[in-house]
Structure 1
Amino acid sequence: MAAQFGGEPAKDSARVLRRLGLLQLDALRRVDRAHRLTCLARMPANASVESVDGGLWSSGPARAFETWVHAACLVPAEDWPLLRLARAKTADRERKPDEAACAEVLAIVGGSEHGVTIREIEGAGPRTDGWEWSERKRAAEHLLWCGELICSERRGNRRVYDLPERRLPQSVLETELSREAILETIATRVLNATGVATTQDVAVYYNLTTAEAAEGLASCGANPVTVQGWPTPAWTLQKDPPAHQLLPEARLIGPFDNLIWDRDRTRRVHDFDYSFEAYKPAHKRVYGHYVMGVLDTHGRMLGRVDLRRQAGALEVIRSFAEPEVDEAHLAAGVASAVAILTAQMKDVIPSS
């Protein structure tokens, strides 16, 4: 928890991204987009949701870029060399888009000085509709994941595809880390972001094989530790115990927050069994459509709350306390956390 949230709230979203190494992206907006919720949970109570995207995307030099890690994620621009192995795996996969479609997309993007959206790439041809991707959309995404294109800007909610050499500093593009250096740095990133992790935790965070994660841990200077109740050994770079109080106030934790998106780790660390039910039929949901965790100031998961943003306010549909958590304690945590998120969204949620 100390590794995730630090000694004090992050001043801006860029600092959150550097602390965590990556931010998972998701398009659902029942409360707000996933990366904003993750950032706001770690930013001051007076931070504004309006400021989050500006610290992450840019119409000029890249601050961060979108790529596939364990899911679609934002990664700091300076970490471009760190994902060379991941890009190579994508480039070498058997199921690839048609080469002619890739060449067409590269020509379209290369012919624009300021990058293009998917609508401009598709032109008058077949259009992407939801998960039904056109051939050019498939090509654009493949090129993005293997590094021939970059997305470091959005226009509205649409990706802007551009050439890496137009967005990244030459020094970043020319940096070529060895396999050993990449795996060692990734292991260090994960341990700094999680505090303590198993080999499998490291592998999941950056979508490595277990063998790759073990290789990185062996060379990063991590200390092997035993964690009570964990079935396998773990690793840490931490030497000093964290402060007893980790957060200034209770906070809401989104479904794709770095704290809980690895569901196996979440059960092991927090004894918090979370599943995302938005895509389940309503009658099959146990807790609700868009359920967020409720975290108290000491890093304890008090429970969960089903929320939606509607009619200029955050509406609490229902809350659920964890076992052995007093309902009054949960209610106080929910009230405080909802009030903070509402204030942070004041620019998009008019006050009643």
Structure 2
Amino acid sequence: MIEIKHRKDLARLRRLALGSQGLLQTQPYGRGLAGAVNAINHIGYVQIDTISVIERAHHHVLHCRVPQFEPSMTNQMLLDKKIFEYWTHAASFIPINDFRFSLPYKHAIKNGQTHWYKNPDKKLMNELLARIRSDGPLRSRDIKNISSKRAGWWDWKPAKRALEQLYMEGELMISSREGFQKTYDLTERVLPNHINTQMPNIEELATHIITQQLRSHGLISLKGLTYQRRNTELRNTVKSLINEGLEQRSLEQIKLNNSDIFILEAGAFERSLPRQNNRLLIISPFDNSVIQRERLKTLFHFDYQLECYLPATKRQYGYFCLPLLFRDEFVGRMDCKTHRKNSHLEIKSLYLEKNDLEEDKVISAFIDAITLFADFQKCQSISLNSAYPKRLTQYLQKKLKALG
């Protein structure tokens, strides 16, 4: 077992994690649409979220990794059948080649081993399925239109629940989406013919999870491997395969000085890693690199909570604070909002929390990052209400005003 005792070793471990996420390189997956496909294939999923204070999280995640990415490209990837939508630990875009690994959860819902909705309306589900089979794809908004025109046939809320149940059971897939208006169609009409649809056994599923996590995170914990998965048999199989890998020395363990243990491929710690640069990244709260908050705190010493789910009186940093990554450290957070009507990005508060970094380099990198970020938000001006340390507020306000 490798023991991490020195700061330089911890820095190397962090670089392994960030490099595996594609956050150290400027274009690790390429550019534009092709780069976005490569990015999802590598990191395994991109979480979909509805919060719209700034550009949606699923677009933000790809923006951080893929130069020239545009939000319209997510729907294009659906239309091109490069990705599909389903549930990981949350609603997500997933590589189409990983389709078969969604089948166990669909099977469990369909057979009542787990529930999406309790007591689903089978009659209504069959009516919806028959309608889609005969009339073609159905948009979620179409149900409402049909309901209002044909009173007494479908009621909006039960019909919407039935449609979602069919999707979660795997009878339907989302063939395209405009914002959050989804179009549903029969799975056999959406899924490309070459895609493997064989149900994986528990060992195949566990192997897939381990392989994907090692590829996309570089180092993993047993708890993190089955994040938000409550299947006891799956957890036991994952643990067994990890122990087998350790015994065969294809895997090794690494221990941090706080006694937390991570697992990585043998030799990964000595592997050549991308060089550091002075780039700062503004990260989504739903980014794959930060979604496991305990891992983030253990590995990066960054205590982060998304506070939009808290009452306003209990928020310390703001409604939708975004982590700030500089080199291999999370150095602060920013609460901001896009005012789309007047193309303005309002930074409500900016917190720079690391005292041992070169402040001028961090600020310079932040100015570069916020310029790109505002462009991504389609904003032409930026303002700052307050910064911490407070002495930076006026200086940054002048810098940002000059950008507009």
Match status 1:2 vs 2:19: yes
Q: Relative to structure 1, is the Cα distance of residues 100 and 235 closer, same or farther in structure 2, using a 3 angstrom cutoff? A: same
TM-score, normalization by structure 1: 0.86
Contact 1:67–1:73 under 8 Å retained in 2: yes
| Greater fraction of residues in helix | 2
- Structure (1 or 2) with the larger CA radius of gyration: 2
Q: Which residue of 2 aligns with 1:53?
A: 74
In 1, the alpha carbon distance for the partners of 2:277 and 2:190 equals: 36
Match status 1:182 vs 2:205: yes
Render the CA deviation track for 1:45-93: whole Å, top value 9, x for unaligned.
Answer: xx143454245321xx522111111011111111111122222222222
Q: Which residue of 1 aligns with 2:370?
A: 338
Q: CA deviation at 1:349?
A: 3.0
2:78 is paired with a residue whose SS is coil
Question: Where does 1:60-209 land on structure 2 (aligned, <5 Å)?
Answer: 61-91=80-110, 92=112, 93-94=114-115, 95-113=118-136, 115-125=137-147, 134-204=157-227, 209=232
More deviation, 224-233/66-75? 224-233
TM-score, normalization by structure 2: 0.76
Q: Which residue of 1 aligns with 2:296?
A: 266
Match status 1:214 vs 2:277: no
In 2, the alpha carbon distance for the partners of 1:212 and 1:24 equals: 25
Q: Relative to structure 1, is the Cα distance of residues 306 and 120 closer, same or farther in structure 2, using a 3 angstrom cutoff? A: same
In the alignment, residue 203 of structure 1 is paired with which amino acid?
T
Q: CA deviation at 1:343?
A: 3.1
Render the CA deviation track for 1:257-301: whole Å, top value 9, x for unaligned.
Answer: 1011111111112111111112333332110111111111x2210
2:98 is paired with a residue whose SS is helix
Q: Relative to structure 1, is the Cα distance of residues 264 and 2 closer, same or farther in structure 2, using a 3 angstrom cutoff? A: same
2:105 is paired with a residue whose SS is helix
Q: Relative to structure 1, is the Cα distance of residues 270 and 109 closer, same or farther in structure 2, using a 3 angstrom cutoff? A: farther
Contact 2:86–2:102 under 8 Å retained in 1: no
In 1, the alpha carbon distance for the partners of 2:231 and 2:216 equals: 16
More deviation, 236-245/80-89? 236-245
Q: Which residue of 1 aligns with 2:387?
A: none
Match status 1:34 vs 2:53: no
Render the CA deviation track for 1:84-131: whole Å, top value 9, x for unaligned.
Answer: 222222222252412112212212322233x211122344438xxxxx
Contact 1:303–1:330 under 8 Å retained in 2: no
Contact 2:20–2:215 under 8 Å retained in 1: yes
Contact 1:41–1:253 under 8 Å retained in 2: yes
Question: Where does 1:296-311 land on structure 2 (aligned, <5 Å)?
Answer: 296=326, 298-310=327-339, 311=342
Match status 1:19 vs 2:47: no
Q: CA deviation at 1:150?
A: 0.7
Unmatched 5+ stretches in structure 1: 127-132
What value does the CA root-mean-square deviation take over the aligned residues?
2.8
In 2, the alpha carbon distance for the partners of 1:216 and 1:105 equals: 42
In the alignment, residue 65 of structure 2 is paired with which amino acid?
R
Q: Relative to structure 1, is the Cα distance of residues 56 and 314 closer, same or farther in structure 2, using a 3 angstrom cutoff? A: farther
Render the CA deviation track for 1:29-57: whole Å, top value 9, x for unaligned.
Answer: 1111011110011122xx14345424532
More deviation, 254-263/9-18? 9-18
In 2, the alpha carbon distance for the partners of 1:207 and 1:246 equals: 37
In the alignment, residue 110 of structure 1 is paired with which amino acid?
R
Q: Which of 225, 244, 263 is the matching residue for 1:235?
A: 263
In 2, the alpha carbon distance for the partners of 1:247 and 1:146 equals: 46
2:227 is paired with a residue whose SS is helix
How many positions carry a matched residue from both structures?
340
Q: CA deviation at 1:190?
A: 0.9
Contact 2:278–2:365 under 8 Å retained in 1: no
Q: CA deviation at 1:325?
A: 4.7
Q: Which residue of 2 aligns with 1:321?
A: 352
Render the CA deviation track for 1:125-178: whole Å, top value 9, x for unaligned.
Answer: 38xxxxxx8112222222212211111410342111111111112232543433
In 2, the alpha carbon distance for the partners of 1:212 and 1:119 equals: 42
In the alignment, residue 147 of structure 2 is paired with which amino acid?
G
1:162 is paired with a residue whose SS is strand
In 2, the alpha carbon distance for the partners of 1:194 and 1:203 equals: 14
Q: Which of structures 1 and 2 has the larger relative contact order (alpha carbons within 8 angstroms, sep 6+)?
A: 1
Runs of 4+ in 1 over 6 A off after TM superposition: none
